Amino acid sequence: MIKLHGMPLSNYYNVIKCVMLEQGIPFEEINVRPSQDQDYLSKSPMGKVPCMETDEGFLTETSVMLEFIEDIGSSNPDNSLYPISAFQRAKCRELMRYLELYVELPARRLYGDVFFDRPASDEEKADVKKLLEKGFSALGRIADLQPFFAGSENTYVDFYAYFGLSPVVRVCRKTWEWDIKKESIKLKNNIGSESLNENNLVCRAIRYIKNRYKDKIGIMCDVALDPYTSHGHDGILKSGYVLNDETIEILINQSLLQAQMGCDVLAPSDMMDGRIGKIRKALDKSNFKNVQILSYAAKYASSFYGPFRDAVGSKSKLKGDKKTYQMDFRNSDEAIREVALDIREGADMVMVKPGMPYLDIIKSIKNKFKIPVFAYQVSGEYSLIQTAINKKIVNQDVIYESLMSFKRAGANGIVSYYADRIDKILK
């Protein structure tokens, strides 16, 4: 079996990991950091991650490992993540080189400044920005984006782009308040109409997963407008207030669209009053009776959402706050009332968000209602734990301990950024 040496902090490690998952190639993860230790240098001559251990020896460099993955899967051309045409395959390799050499590598010069509190000079920042402007301009000339980077089909380029551009986006936003996701910004408006576009990112993802994996995997989708609104709120905004009933009408259509695409569980996270009953009625009327509803019934107006909002660029766009429709963190009784209402309206299960600061809410709901309860370990919780681990204040055992607290409180399901690592931790 292939062994993949590296760590989730490495974008190149994540590229290889996700490609192998996509291709159904069995592998074992070996969690290691870059090292100049002689033992590790015998595996990865530059001491970098990732490196791949095969039955015949070790491989390094991301592009080489991708070609190896392609070669070992060549017996089944249907599984290839390259186009059939030799020229188009070459264009994919070209795009990956452009992403690496002219975008990701220049931005990497500022990773210390942005991620590790190692300030860079103004001259360095200015130099990097010039290189990135040139790189993005060049990339724009050769990328297809119809809707994937290399055209109509998902390829290796899209994995490269997703993991390579994510830290670059953060660098640009934090260093120069430069949002390079110009196209996504253009799609946002005050009513979140992009949520009803059958070719939006969520709908394309649902169709791809269902076509790729059929009924082998279930899909849960968030139902809310905040990813699509220019003001960052979960509904239609007027005079500083979110309009409840007008928002629900859009949420109904968003729900029907996602169900039509193949979504198995809809998760309204908007906290509009009465939306569960109306969504349930609309689903049943449209013959989506088997589509379940996971209601964000107890979602608090919390500061723990900060890192996520910062990552997706909604923090700077948010006008005011969400305290008029999300719950006051000082209030516990309201959560019980909201859960009761959503159950009566047709919710199959409920969500408590955030998680650890609200273990008492999870327990109260579980004790009072015989219904599946989910807990959401949000970005702020994850960031606090991971920062403490990175600074060696605590060890990684706290991950399991934190997740077990949800289970102990009565949670039947846990949404966590540690979902991809917990099985390795338990081993």
The domain defined by 2-78 carries CATH number 3.40.30.10: yes
> Annotated catalytic residue: which of 91, 129, 188, 353?
353
* Cα separation of the two ends of the chain: 17
Q: How many CB atoms lie within 10 A of CB 37?
A: 12
Whether 353 sits among the annotated catalytic residues: the reply is yes
Q: How many CB atoms lie within 10 A of CB 307?
A: 18
> Using one digit for the tens of pLDDT, what is the confidence trace for 340-381?
999 999 999 999 999 999 999 999 999 999 899 999 999 999
In angstroms and rounded to an integer, the radius of gyration of the C-alpha atoms of the chain is 23
- Using the structure block, give the residue that is written with the tokens 């997703």: 162
Separation of alpha carbons 339 and 345, rounded Å: 10
> Using one digit for the tens of pLDDT, what is the confidence trace for 139-159?
878 887 667 778 778 899 989
> Using one digit for the tens of pLDDT, what is the confidence trace for 381-411?
999 999 999 889 999 889 999 999 999 999 9
Buried b (16+ CB within 10 A) or exposed e, 152-188: ebbbbbbbbbebbbebbbbbbbebeeeebeeeeeebb
> Annotated catalytic residue: which of 17, 299, 322, 366?
299
Sorting pLDDT into bands at 50, 70 and 90, what band is 231?
A: confident
Q: How many CB atoms lie within 10 A of CB 233?
A: 27
Sorting pLDDT into bands at 50, 70 and 90, what band is 181?
A: low
pTM exceeds cut of 0.75? no
| Confidence at residue 153, expressed as pLDDT on a 0 to 100 scale | 80
> Using one digit for the tens of pLDDT, what is the confidence trace for 289-337?
999 999 999 999 898 888 776 665 555 566 667 877 788 999 899 999 9
* Upper half-sphere CA count for residue 380 (Cβ side, 13 Å): 12
| Domain residue spans of the chain | 2-78, 83-180, 204-426
* 174: pLDDT strictly greater than 50: yes
3-state secondary structure of 7: coil
> Using one digit for the tens of pLDDT, what is the confidence trace for 116-128?
889 999 999 999 9
* 229: pLDDT strictly greater than 50: yes
CATH placement of domain 83-180: 1.20.1050.10
Q: What number is the average pLDDT over the span 80-89?
A: 89
Separation of alpha carbons 137 and 75, rounded Å: 38
| Confidence at residue 75, expressed as pLDDT on a 0 to 100 scale | 59
* 194: pLDDT strictly greater than 50: yes
> Using one digit for the tens of pLDDT, what is the confidence trace for 250-277?
999 999 999 999 999 999 999 899 999 9
The CATH T-level fold of domain 204-426 is TIM Barrel (3.20.20)
pLDDT above 70 covers a percentage of the chain that reads 93
Whether 289 sits among the annotated catalytic residues: the reply is no
* 238: pLDDT strictly greater than 90: no
